[in-house]
Amino acid sequence: MQVDQTLDCKGLSCPMPIIKLAKTVKKMNSGEVLELLGTDPGSKTDVPAWCEKTGNIFLEQAEDGGTFKFYIKKK
């Protein structure tokens, strides 16, 4: 998967990752892919829910040693 931009939200807790996600995606071009890195377990439900609500495409999520990785494609 080609990642166009990475947003580091490690260490941040709710609501900072979602606010940063919304602000970042707003500045991206349609079709670009964002990789969000985070450590808040809440993001596992918050990020897909935000994508569904805003119409952006939630591609997949992965986990690596305590860091969650989310891939989002801007609509």
Partner 1 sequence: MFKKGELRELFDSLFAKSWPMWIGGILLAVLNILLFVIKYPWGSSSGYTNIGQNLFQLLGISSLGTNVPINLHAVALLNIFIVIGAFISSLFSREFSIKVAPAGELVKGFIGGALMAIGATVGAGCTTGGFFTGVAALSGGALALGVGFTIGTFVALRYILWEMEALPNISMGKSYTILPGTAKKTGWQRWLGWILIAAILYLVSTYTSKGSAMKIIGWHVLIALLLGMILQRSRFCIVRAFREPFMTGEATAPVAVIVSILVAVVGFTVFKYFGVGNAGELAVRAIEMKAVYANFWLRALIGGFIFGLGMTIAGGCAVGTLWRAGEGHVKLWMSALGFVIMAPISRLFIVPAVKSILPESMRKMVFLPDILGYTGAVVLVLLILLLWYIFVKWNEKTGKFSAL
Least distance (Å) from partner 1 to the CB of residue 72? Answer: 14
**3-class DSSP state of 10:** coil
40: contact with partner 1 by CB under 8 A: yes
The CA-atom distances, in angstroms, between 48 and each of 12, 26, 55, 60 are 17, 16, 10, 9
Is 51 considered catalytic here? no
Q: Which is nearer to partner 1, 31 or 42 (CB)?
A: 42
55: contact with partner 1 by CB under 8 A: no
Instruction: Work out which of 20, 33, 58, 59 binds partner 1, going by CB under 8 A.
Output: 20
Q: What is the CA radius of gyration of the chain?
A: 11
